[in-house]
Amino acid sequence: MKTKSLYPVYITVIACGVALFTLVAPQSSSGQQAPALDMSPQFLSLVNEVSKQNTDIAANQTEIDSRIDAIAENVRQAKIYAARAGGKR
């Protein structure tokens, strides 16, 4: 039975939510109209960093899932051999 973690999905949703909220949230008004979108290099750098971290987490989760699958297969085979050996005493 292979279980998939939703952790990378949650990180992506949270990152997108924060980015969307930052872009769409109402700004406090001081009588002057603020620019529509403030896509500063610092903000874009942070978004790119979060995206890279999300990619790394997804890759790590894939590696963990493959190792768990290998361990599960080894346990399955060990149970089969143990059952065979137990009947030959």
**Is 12 within 8 Å of 55 (Cβ atoms)?**
no
55: its two tokens: 């990619």
Q: How many CA atoms lie within 13 A of 79 on its CB side?
A: 6
Is the pLDDT at 70 greater than 60? The verdict is: yes
Q: Any idea which residue has 């002057």 for tokens?
A: 32
Q: What is the pLDDT of residue 57?
A: 95
pLDDT at 5: 66
17-29 mean pLDDT: 66
> pLDDT higher for 29 or 71?
71
Distance CA 82, CA 73 (A): 14
pTM (2 decimals)? 0.49
Mean pLDDT (the chain, rounded): 80
